[in-house]
Amino acid sequence: MTISLKVNGRERTVDVAPDTPLLWVLRDRLKLKGTKFGCGVGVCGSCTVHVDGMAVRSCSVAVSDVGDMAVTTIEGLAEGPEGTPGAIQQAWIEEQVPQCGYCQPGMIMAVAAMLETTPNPTDADIDDQITNVCRCGTYPRLRRAIHRAAKAKGAQA
Amino acid sequence: MTSPKSPDRLAGGLARREVLLGGLVLGLATGAGARARVAKAGEGATLNAFVSIAPGGEVVIVTPGAEMGQGVANGMPKIVAEELDADWANVKVTLSGYAPDYLSPVNKRQRSANSDGITSYYDALRKVGATARAMLVAAAAQRWSIEPAKITTREGMLLHPDGRTMLRYGDVAAEAAALPVPGTVALKDPSAFRLIGKDFPRKDIAAKVMGSAGFGMDLDLPGLLYAAIVHVPVAGARLLGFNADAATAMPGVHKVVQVDNAVGVIADSYWQAQKAADTIELDVDTVPLMDGDRVRETILAALDAPGEGLLPFPVGFTDGKFDMGASSEEIEAGLAASDATFEAVYEVPYLAHATMEPLCATAKVENGACEIWAPTQAADAIPPDIEQATGIPAASVKVNRTFLGGGFGRKNERDFLVESVKLAAAMPGRPVMMVWSRQEDTRHDYYRPAFAARIRAGLAEDGAIAAMHGRIAGQPLMTTAPFRRPGIADFGMVGELVSSTYPIALRKAEAVEIEAPLRTGYWRSVSASQNGFFFESAIDELAAMQKRDPLEYRRALSIADPRSLAALDLLAEKSGWGKEMKPGRGMGCALTSGWNARCAQAIEVEVTDTTLEVKRIVCTFDCGQMIDPDNVVAQIEGGIVFGLSAALFGKITVKEGVVEQSSFADYPVVLLRSAPAIEVHLIESGAPLGGVGETGVPAVAPALTGAIFAATGKRVRKLPIVDAGFEVAL
Ligand code: FES
Ligand code: FES
């Protein structure tokens, strides 16, 4: 079935079974490899992308359900044509968050969505809203990086 | 395959291929422009297997280690760059595949395990850098017609003694590469280090936050096919046959292939392959079904009545010989003569690795040869394993490594690599990427085995440990089988059961091995993952028995080891040890000493009714000399979280032969909200290099159960803690 999608600001057309999870369309058809497969059952958050600005676990969304909603992946989060790191990514670099790095694109996408609705999150907000798994245990740095990113974004605004 | 005889031609070739195929380049901004720039750099002059330098001066250094988060794609090249006197900002790193040039001269292996990446390559990498530098100096000396000794180097520049003339490394790299390789080179005095021991941003991190770092599944090759796989679910059972009629008829499916005890589906896309694999019916032979409760009974019974199966284990290694410790008679006499005696039984369950990236590997088989691209901790062990499993000669197996989305020991196993080659063999000439589902990954692990141990100890009047006897029962590790010595217990099971952290006059360790059909293997910190809990819990109980403060007691036992004392003293200071606490709060501590490091931890908990909250973990850590201090902190933080997940929740159970867990939903790990504040304080002791990656893990469980004891008077001797009636918010 031919399905049209808006991904990172571009119209894309793919020919896939309608129940194909958005994750695999992004990764294997559109070759956007930044979005990761961690569990396939919605519990780890590695596959988090934005659909109309909301953080969504793309392994658990059928591509046919996306419709004309705008999809943003980690590749779409960088700023400008040069692809420089966005404010959140910059905070991640400054706090040296990643270890293996596998969870981090999903983590960053989840945080990016949170900061849109909760620009100055408290630790409790973070605990409530960021439920992605990081098996390497980067949590102490993650928390610092989230606060740093919130501050940096606040200063930009 | 590269020939071991041509080391000087190797790195550039490898670097170029990896850059073009996988985009496995670190320290890049993203985008094709940056990639092309580095690809060009890889075409520079190759000085040795690790170093090539572009005319523009960009230095490309290959890391021989597998980058699984521990930072060897930064730390190892940094050692080379230090002696090379390279401009670190102008260094690019590429990942290595397997090549004989990359074997560690210390252990003659190329694999990332046992926290020995830095310790087993440090001297060699220094020499690699110094050799390349000497060749650059020699080339400049020829140009300037002066003595090499008159030339100095700094950050990628060669400086003429006139104080004005200089050359960039890139200017003479081609000439340098053509010069003979010097036999001996002088190394820097460590006081002159500009890079080692100083923090710079890790070179892999930018790519990892931009989403451009290439992991096992991120490869794209022309004609790539995908495969999903289902294994026989029953532990120990064999696959007799299968029905794949539905699968074969599904869209995109090319082939259904039996691979030993599993069936793989090869399709145009991973999702098509997985959907088809889900429809396959497996016909499995009937076997006695493994049951977790029965295994536990067997382990506990073996502890009490080991019969013939009691295997001794050395308590030390001195003058090239095993020290087998005290005899049974000596131990019994020592215990009988003690002022007070202690005995307790501790238990831990099976554990899965649960790496964030499920197992995956890509292979292409063609004309009797194969090429593999995979997130693997192993390297040199892969070609012989492939030869044994498939008949493809080891010399015709080429291994490329991607970034690893976590390893923790699981990705040192080669089962998934063998599977991927066997699958690819069904589609000659086409690369096939096999991806395990999370459920397969959880259910077909090489688990950390369940163990029970009985620790007995006798105290002298002053509290010194006069005698200690540890006996452990459980499944030995399959991983260590090739290294086993006849008549001696498995080190992966017994190592540090009676720890060498403290002096103990009479020591004895032994094991009883049971059989069970689960696969077992290395799990971050290996034997210390259980024995740290067993032994340090016993120390805690010995302190309590004497009504002594657990930290003060460890201090008294450590009096002869300045590094332990320093770690404990700093821990007392930073944790506020001994401070007044409100009811329900408690602090526990532990000290471990593996990998030539000292790791002391204090954990503060609050228990309200049955709800347990871990408030804070303070760690003091001494691994001697450090390459990247901030990365040492990160590794210890990560090790602590890893140990905490296991101590609180970690448990793999087996019912009717099938592992019951299948994802993070039923094999929970710590999340942001359950991660306490963690403080790591590094100690610069001046000791030689020690290991880091695993060292943060073992102290967590005993410090945590010590804290629960301090808060409640209840001693948890069996992990995970949630099974002792505590609720922990996830
Ligand atoms: S892969 Fe989607 S939540 Fe884990
Ligand atoms: S950095 Fe490895 S899983 Fe988060």
Maximum distance among all Cα pairs of chain A, rounded to whole angstroms:
46
Q: Region B611-638: what's the mean pLDDT?
A: 98
φ, ψ of residue B695 in degrees (nearest 5):
-70, -20
Nearest residue to B557 via CA among B579, B580, B540:
B540
Question: How many CB atoms sit inside 10 A of residue B536's CB?
Answer: 28
CATH 3.30.365.10 domain span(s) along chain B: 7-210, 216-286+359-435, 307-349+448-728
* Count of Cβ atoms closer than 10 Å to residue B21 Cβ: 16
Work out the burial of residue A111: count CB atoms within 10 Å of its CB; fewer than 13 is exposed, 13-18 middle, 19 or more buried.
buried
CATH code for the structural domain at A87-156: 1.10.150.120
Give me the phi and psi of B18, to 5 degrees please: -65, -40
The pLDDT score that the predictor gives to residue B274 is 98
d(Cα B49, Cα B6) in Å, to the nearest integer? 9
At residue B20, does pLDDT exceed 90? no
pLDDT at A81: 67
pLDDT value of residue B587: 98
CA distance B146 to B135: 14
Phi, psi of A62 (to 5 degrees): -70, 140
Taking only the tens place, the pLDDT of each residue in B82-116 is 999 999 999 999 999 999 999 999 999 999 999 99
3-state secondary structure of B395: helix
Q: In what order do the strands lie in the sheet containing A10-15?
A: A10-15, A2-7, A70-72, A48-51, A54-57
Statement: A2-76 belongs to CATH 3.10.20.30: yes
A74–B630: do the CB atoms touch at under 8 Å? Answer: no
Q: Say if residues B239 and B259 touch (Cβ distance below 8 Å).
A: no
Selection from B75, B79, B39 nearest residue B60 by Cα? B39
pLDDT digits (tens, 9 = 90+) for B157-188: 999 999 999 999 999 999 999 999 999 999 99
Q: What pLDDT, on a 0 to 100 scale, did the predictor assign at position A157?
A: 67
The verdict on whether omega for the bond into residue B720 sits within 30 degrees of 0, i.e. cis, is yes
- Residues of A within 8 A of B272 (CB-CB) are 17
| pLDDT value for B288 | 87
Q: How far apart are CA B618 and CA B591, in angstroms?
A: 12
Residue B585: band (very low, low, confident or very high) from pLDDT cuts 50, 70, 90: very high
CB B592 within 8 A of CB B528: yes
Instruction: Summarize pLDDT for B395-424 with one digit per residue, the tens.
Output: 999 999 999 999 999 999 999 999 999 999
Confidence class for position B345, pLDDT limits 50, 70, 90 = very high
Interface TM-score (ipTM) > 0.85: yes
Looking only at the bridges linking them, the beta strands covering B506-513 and B369-374 are unpaired
Whether pLDDT at B268 is above 50: yes
In this prediction, residue B38 carries a pLDDT of 32
- CB contacts, 8 Å: B32 with chain A: none
3-state secondary structure of B285: coil
Per CB-CB distance under 8 Å, the chain A contacts of B216 are: none
- Reduced to 3 states (helix: H, G, I; strand: E, B; else coil), residue B509 is strand
Instruction: Assess whether pLDDT exceeds 90 at residue B18.
Output: no
Number of cross-chain residue pairs from A and B with Cβ atoms under 8 Å apart = 195
Q: Which residues contact B572 (CB under 8 A, 6 or more apart)?
A: B551, B578
- Is the pLDDT at B433 greater than 90? The verdict is yes
In the reported structure, the alpha carbon of residue A44 is separated from the centroid of ligand 1 by a whole-number distance in angstroms of: 5
Angle between helices B32-41 and B10-22 (to 10 degrees): 170
Of all residues in chain B, what percent are helix, strand and coil, respectively (each to 5)?
35, 25, 40
How far, in Å, from the CA of B81 to the mean position of ligand 2?
Answer: 27
**CATH code assigned to B7-210:** 3.30.365.10
| Residue position matching structure tokens 């890391």 | B63
Q: Could you name the CATH architecture of B216-286+359-435?
A: 2-Layer Sandwich (3.30)
pLDDT at residue number B24? 25
CA of B406 to the centre of ligand 2 (A): 7
**pLDDT, mean of residues B130-147:** 97
Whether residue B470 contacts residue B286, with contact meaning beta carbons closer than 8 Å, is answered with no
Residue B410: predicted pLDDT: 98
State the nearest Cα–Cα gap between B80 and chain A, in angstroms. 22
CA atoms within 13 A on the CB side of B332: 3
Q: What's phi and psi for B146, nearest 5 deg?
A: -130, 175
Decide: A26 and A7 in contact? Cβ < 8 Å: yes
Q: Would you kindly state where each structural domain of chain A is located, as residue ranges?
A: 2-76, 87-156
Cα A6 to Cα A35: distance, rounded to the nearest angstrom? 16
Region B674-689: mean pLDDT is 97
Q: Report the nearest-CA residue for atom 3 of ligand 1.
A: A42
Judged against a pLDDT cut of 70, whether residue B16 lies above it is answered with no
CA atoms within 13 A on the CB side of B620: 22
Instruction: Please give the distance of CA B454 from its chain centroid, rounded to a whole number.
Output: 28
pLDDT (tens, 9 = 90+) of chain A, 157 residues, equals 999 999 999 999 999 999 999 999 999 999 999 999 999 999 999 999 999 999 999 999 999 999 999 999 999 998 766 678 999 999 999 999 999 999 999 999 999 999 999 999 999 999 999 999 999 999 999 999 999 999 999 887 6
Ligand 1 site, CB within 6 A = A 37-40, 42-47, 57, 59
The secondary structure of residue B687, as a DSSP letter, is: P
Residue B178: DSSP 8-state:
T
Tell whether the model's pLDDT for residue B19 goes beyond 80: no
Share of chain B above pLDDT 70, in %: 94
| Spatial CB neighbours of B97, under 8 Å, sequence gap ≥ 6 | B14, B18, B379, B398, B399, B400, B401
Cβ atoms of B200 and A94 within 8 Å: the answer is no
Tally Cβ neighbours within 10 Å of residue B562.
12
**Model confidence pLDDT, tens digit, residues B492-548:** 999 999 988 899 999 999 999 999 999 999 999 999 999 999 999 999 999 999 999
Query: What is the CATH code of the structural domain delimited by B307-349+448-728?
Result: 3.30.365.10
The average confidence (pLDDT) of chain B is 92
Nearest C-alpha in A relative to B407: A100
